[in-house]
């Protein structure tokens, strides 16, 4: 995988808390801490996979990145320029595009395929939107002479997702956020679309943020994997490193829940039990302590900070087990088997 070391996208302390309103006056009763202090960098040409349970904040993070949801706090920088200070939301929309899971809901049912793809380029005032749309249709494998005048309901799910990919690329973005973009597809179509995404990344020099609940799919396409739990980043590492060693107990549980067709490869590790805590009132200290087999008193009292496993390592984790100064009785021994 080719990627320079310079971050193209930098996210710092991103926060989004959604109000829950109630009562006859519609007053705010509580706040859901959907994303709470998320930070990461993405290098140009890299694919960052984001995984975690439903409700961990993956999709909200994606929507914050493209400005579909306003952030409460934090900074997003693209190419060294800060969103809101140096670049407008309109400019950001040209540089960061998104492909959603629901291929049908993403398209206007009253617009032809060609118009849907060309729409964004027209709005942004780019040259030759129709020519761009036709070229991209051909590139994603749909003959423009056959498909340009069709409507979304006339296409299969795989064809619609190819159209959504073309629609995202029509403005020549730098970053494409793929939010469960292949999750609703049949396995055979999923493989074709993943290969298409890999080819397009190389051809157009794209940078991907790939969100999925399927670890095998994330492994296939990603350079690094970021794990989220209850609105926070708990682990971040290159794919090979995290596949060889899951440092955070939550990541271990996610991996142990992964189905395997190989009877010799069945895990003996305990799967994750219990439901995630309420994001309105997350547990103090480590948010995972209510479900963690290695929780100690320090885990309930102190919030673990995300940092490298050892000085200079690209493998980062937020867990007292890996911090010798934390006071955890098993600190420095890694995650016990
Ligand atoms: Fe478990 Fe403590 Fe690590 Fe949290 S900090 S994951 S509770 S060992």
Residue 304, ligand 1, Cβ within 6 A: yes
Residue 247, ligand 1, Cβ within 6 A: no
Question: How many angstroms separate the alpha carbon of residue 13 from the centre of ligand 1?
Answer: 21
Question: How many angstroms separate the alpha carbon of residue 287 from the centre of ligand 1?
Answer: 8
Residue 210, ligand 1, Cβ within 6 A: no
pLDDT, mean over the chain: 91
Q: What is the 3-state secondary structure (H, E, C) of the chain?
A: CCCCCCEEEEEEEEEEEEEEEECCCCEEEEEEEEEEEEEEEEECCCEEEEECCCCCCHHHHHHHHCCCCCCCEEEEEECCEEECCCECHHHHHHHEEEECCCCCCCCCCCCCHHHHHHHHHHHCCCCCHHHHHHHHHHHCCCCHHHHCCCCHHHCCHHHHHHHHHHHHHCCCCCEEEEECCCCCCCHHHHHHHHHHHHHHHHHHCCEEEEECCCHHHHHHHCCEEEEEECCEEEEEEEHHHHHHCCCCHHHHHHHHCCCCCCHHHCCCCCCCCCCCCCCCCCCCCCCCCCCCCCCCHHHHHCCCCCEECCCCCCCEECCHHHCCCCCCCCCCCCCCC
Where along the chain do the CATH 3.40.50.300 domains lie?
42-222
- Residue 5 pLDDT exceeds 80: no
Of ligand 1's listed atoms, the one at least distance from the Cα of 298 is: 2
Identify which of 43-47, 67-71, 103-107 has the greatest average pLDDT: 43-47
Of ligand 1's listed atoms, the one at least distance from the Cα of 295 is: 7
Q: Which of 234, 273, 292 is the best mutation target for the ligand 1 pocket, counting ligand atoms within 8 Å of the beta carbon and taking the most?
A: 292
Residue 319, ligand 1, Cβ within 6 A: yes
> What pLDDT sits at residue 1?
42
Average pLDDT over residues 265-271: 60
Dihedral sign (CA 97, 101, 105, 111): positive
- Residue 4 pLDDT exceeds 60: no
pLDDT digits (tens, 9 = 90+) for 297-308: 999 999 999 999
Residue 295, ligand 1, Cβ within 6 A: yes
Q: Which of 274, 299, 302 is the best mutation target for the ligand 1 pocket, counting ligand atoms within 8 Å of the beta carbon and taking the most?
A: 299
- Residue 117 pLDDT exceeds 70: yes
Average pLDDT over residues 18-31: 85
What CATH code is assigned to 42-222?
A: 3.40.50.300
- Residue 103 pLDDT exceeds 70: yes
> What pLDDT sits at residue 2?
44
Are residues 274 and 265 in contact, defined by beta-carbon separation less than 8 angstroms? no
Average pLDDT over residues 314-332: 93
- Residue 81 pLDDT exceeds 60: yes
Q: Which of 233, 288, 325 is the best mutation target for the ligand 1 pocket, counting ligand atoms within 8 Å of the beta carbon and taking the most?
A: 288
pLDDT digits (tens, 9 = 90+) for 47-80: 999 999 988 999 999 999 998 899 999 999 999 8
pLDDT digits (tens, 9 = 90+) for 153-165: 999 999 999 999 9
> What pLDDT sits at residue 251?
96
Residue 286, ligand 1, Cβ within 6 A: yes
pLDDT digits (tens, 9 = 90+) for 134-155: 999 999 999 999 999 999 999 9
> What pLDDT sits at residue 134?
97
Q: Nearest-CA neighbor of 302 among 276, 284, 280?
A: 284
Q: Which residue has the higher pLDDT, 48 or 81?
A: 48
- Residue 268 pLDDT exceeds 70: no
> What pLDDT sits at residue 41?
97
Q: Which of 285, 295, 331 is the best mutation target for the ligand 1 pocket, counting ligand atoms within 8 Å of the beta carbon and taking the most?
A: 295
Question: How many angstroms separate the alpha carbon of residue 35 from the centre of ligand 1?
Answer: 19
Average pLDDT over residues 204-209: 96
Residue 144, ligand 1, Cβ within 6 A: no
- Residue 272 pLDDT exceeds 80: no
Question: How many angstroms separate the alpha carbon of residue 211 from the centre of ligand 1?
Answer: 24
In degrees and rounded to multiples of 5, residue 26 shows phi and psi of: 65, 35
């Amino acid at each position: 995988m080719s990627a320079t070391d310079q971050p193209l996208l930098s996210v710092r302390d991103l926060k989004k808390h959604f109000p829950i309103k109630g009562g006859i006056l519609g007053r705010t009763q509580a706040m859901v801490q959907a994303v709470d202090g998320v930070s990461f960098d993405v290098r140009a040409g890299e694919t960052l996979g984001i995984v975690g349970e439903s409700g961990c904040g993956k999709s909200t993070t994606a929507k914050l990145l493209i400005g579909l949801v306003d952030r409460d706090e934090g900074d997003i920088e693209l190419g060294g320029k800060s969103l809101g200070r140096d670049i407008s939301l309109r400019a950001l929309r040209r540089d960061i595009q998104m492909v959603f899971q629901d291929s049908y809901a993403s398209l206007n049912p009253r617009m032809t395929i060609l118009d849907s793809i060309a729409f964004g380029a027209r709005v942004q005032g780019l040259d030759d939107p129709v020519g761009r749309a036709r070229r991209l249709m051909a590139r994603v494998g749909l003959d423009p002479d056959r498909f340009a005048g069709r409507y979304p309901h006339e296409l299969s799910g795989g064809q619609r997702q190819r159209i959504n990919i073309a629609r995202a690329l029509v403005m020549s973005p730098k970053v494409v956020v793929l939010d469960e973009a292949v999750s609703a597809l049949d396995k055979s179509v999923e493989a074709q679309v993943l290969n298409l995404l890999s080819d397009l990344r190389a051809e157009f020099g794209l940078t991907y943020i790939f969100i999925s609940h399927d670890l095998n799919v994330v492994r296939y396409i990603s350079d690094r994997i970021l794990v989220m739990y209850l609105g926070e980043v708990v682990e971040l590492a290159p794919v090979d490193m995290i596949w060889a060693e899951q440092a955070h107990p939550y990541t271990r549980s996610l991996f142990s829940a992964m189905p395997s067709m190989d009877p010799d490869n069945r895990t003996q590790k305990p799967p994750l039990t219990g439901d995630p805590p309420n994001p309105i009132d997350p547990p103090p200290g480590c948010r995972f302590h209510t479900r963690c087999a290695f929780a100690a008193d320090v885990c309930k009292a102190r919030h673990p900070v995300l940092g490298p496993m050892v000085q200079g390592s690209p493998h980062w984790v937020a867990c007292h087990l890996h911090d010798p100064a934390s006071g955890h009785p098993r600190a420095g021994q890694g995650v016990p088997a």
